[in-house]
Structure 1
């Protein structure tokens, strides 16, 4: 889950952007009406639209900061992704709208000469929005939030539209009305490019595209460096907002106990989460090295199907007093059976093992190996 400090930083920069956009929109709309500058009025409504997008971003950030629940066990990070996709669409639609408007103005012969004071209002807007762009972009990259990076570009669209307004108003003062729409078309192409980039990234995340290669390589290195890990299989990684989730199968010695395999996996998981900042959760599945497929993994009978017969045949042997433990190993060549038993004092363990192995393999062809270990009642107690 996103850290509280990151959440606070993202909310702070977005609230600040919303407040600035509200002030700028009022200033530009009022100034445009007073100074007879349609471009400035339009730019003011663009700033108003930016404020609306800030509100959407705030909603998404608050949602993504919520802890996992029954309906969202992986957390709410995808709310940021969804908002990023919406913001990318806004950037693209803004670009299309600017091209449409600029093309119409290129074909129009109308010339406007608004008050020169409008230039000052636009210049202030450009400086403020460009500073807001850089600040928001810095926080977005520091917190790994694609949503904030997209919103930073949305702030820049307002700065760029103000540049267009500045060029148009300035050109109108000197009788060159074509400069404004031509600059607008060039800027719109930049907006379309930015919208495509953010939209493609968000869509890739929503369909669970594999995480970047460098992150996957880093995780592979941390896991394989863990003592006891003999290999990896099925490493999958995906983005979940600003978080990265992964799951993998780690290969361990097939002869060790389940608890030792689990301990190895927990060490590998803890090291990876501690040393890879971008990784927020890792699910590890333990598998025996070299035995993750084939007879032992896919078609061998389960304990419930063979335990009764093995115990019955073992108990019937005249040299076995009582059985203590039955362990089953599942391998490609068949079942490996390990028995711990109390034997009669005169019993030869190796001879008893060989006799019992013949009996078991005849009754259960799936048994490939039998190991018999003698224990004493005193030792077991």
Structure 2
């Protein structure tokens, strides 16, 4: 499972980088030929895409390393650190693009060869769709946080390229305000995505709990064992591809240690078998008197 995860996320990263590079070349040609601010915005976004994808590739290579003596919980949080760096980088570029769009509103420039921009935008939409399809299949099989965030960004890029396509078509009919307005819209879109990336990365670094539905499933699995009286002190977090779970099992205080240990192992195996992806479970056995439990339930 771990090897399959590693191979899929690496393939997705490399494929995304290649496709983003192709789109950068096409958009750079269209921008230099037309001078469109909206096309510059789309080119800027693609350059940010390939930068983010390159960063994700190198960070994933580090994050996928197994735990070692200095990092006993693995290296998964490197993904979140990269996410914060990407958010800061993209925010600065979005602000510069917004200033460029505002300047174009007050000092409009005629768009040359707008039809070239239309064809390039159509090409970019097709490339982005292909990237999203590949990423969707990888996320479905791995639930990778990094690929999931990248996929969300590229899904938004489809809408972005459609917006640029409309701007170029309107510019062809000499509607001059469309180009800078769409450039400003692209900047707002980038800032919105930055906020989502930064928030998700911060949650990851701050050890945010797993979703309530997953926690409820873990409790239900533990309580399903006939020898378990109850579960408390459940704590969860995620680091990269690995989910970490800690919980206390309430067991009969007269139970032999070997039997209590076997029950804990059985529950760990059940939780791992019913979890998507890699999960590390730590169980503490708490002795509970059967008479106290019966009186509490009566």
**Equivalent residue number for residue 25 of structure 2:** 26
Q: Which moved more, 1:182-191 or 1:12-21?
A: 182-191
**Equivalent residue number for residue 270 of structure 1:** 269
Q: Answer whether contact 1:64 1:77 (CA < 8 A) is retained.
A: yes
Q: 1:98 to 1:157 in 2, by over 3 A?
A: farther
Q: Answer whether contact 1:30 1:41 (CA < 8 A) is retained.
A: no
**Equivalent residue number for residue 296 of structure 2:** none
- Partners in 1 of 2:178 and 2:15 — Cα distance? 33
Q: Answer whether contact 2:135 2:147 (CA < 8 A) is retained.
A: yes
Q: Answer whether contact 1:88 1:195 (CA < 8 A) is retained.
A: yes
- Partners in 2 of 1:100 and 1:167 — Cα distance? 21
**Greater Rg, structure 1 or structure 2?**
1
- Partners in 2 of 1:134 and 1:74 — Cα distance? 32
Q: 1:108 to 1:157 in 2, by over 3 A?
A: farther
Partner deviation per Cα, 1:297-338 (whole Å, 9 max, x = no partner):
xxxxxxxxxxxxxxxxxxxxxxxxxxxxxxxxxxxxxxxxxx
Partner deviation per Cα, 1:191-244 (whole Å, 9 max, x = no partner):
333332232122112111221111110000111111321112211000112321
**What are structure 1's unaligned runs of at least 5 residues?**
292-381
In the TM superposition, residue 137 of structure 1 has moved relative to its aligned partner by 3.9
**Equivalent residue number for residue 54 of structure 1:** 53
Q: Secondary structure at the match of 2:280?
A: strand
Q: Answer whether contact 1:168 1:177 (CA < 8 A) is retained.
A: no
Q: Answer whether contact 2:170 2:178 (CA < 8 A) is retained.
A: yes
- Partners in 2 of 1:46 and 1:271 — Cα distance? 45
Q: Secondary structure at the match of 2:255?
A: coil
Partner deviation per Cα, 1:56-115 (whole Å, 9 max, x = no partner):
111121112211111111112112222233334445445444433322222323333335
- Partners in 2 of 1:96 and 1:124 — Cα distance? 27
TM score, norm. by length of structure 2: 0.85
Q: Answer whether contact 1:99 1:188 (CA < 8 A) is retained.
A: yes
Q: 1:118 to 1:196 in 2, by over 3 A?
A: closer
- Partners in 1 of 2:129 and 2:88 — Cα distance? 21
Q: Map residues 1-381 of structure 1 onto 2, 5 A cutoff.
A: 3-33=2-32, 35-39=33-37, 40=39, 43-114=42-113, 116-156=115-155, 158-278=157-277, 280-289=279-288
- Partners in 1 of 2:140 and 2:82 — Cα distance? 17
Q: Answer whether contact 1:164 1:180 (CA < 8 A) is retained.
A: no
In the TM superposition, residue 186 of structure 1 has moved relative to its aligned partner by 3.5
In the TM superposition, residue 52 of structure 1 has moved relative to its aligned partner by 2.1
Aligned length: 289
How well do the aligned residues superpose, as a CA RMSD in angstroms? 2.5
Q: Answer whether contact 2:125 2:161 (CA < 8 A) is retained.
A: yes
Partner deviation per Cα, 1:148-192 (whole Å, 9 max, x = no partner):
122224434654554444333322221111112323334443433
- Partners in 1 of 2:120 and 2:103 — Cα distance? 25
**What are structure 2's unaligned runs of at least 5 residues?**
291-298
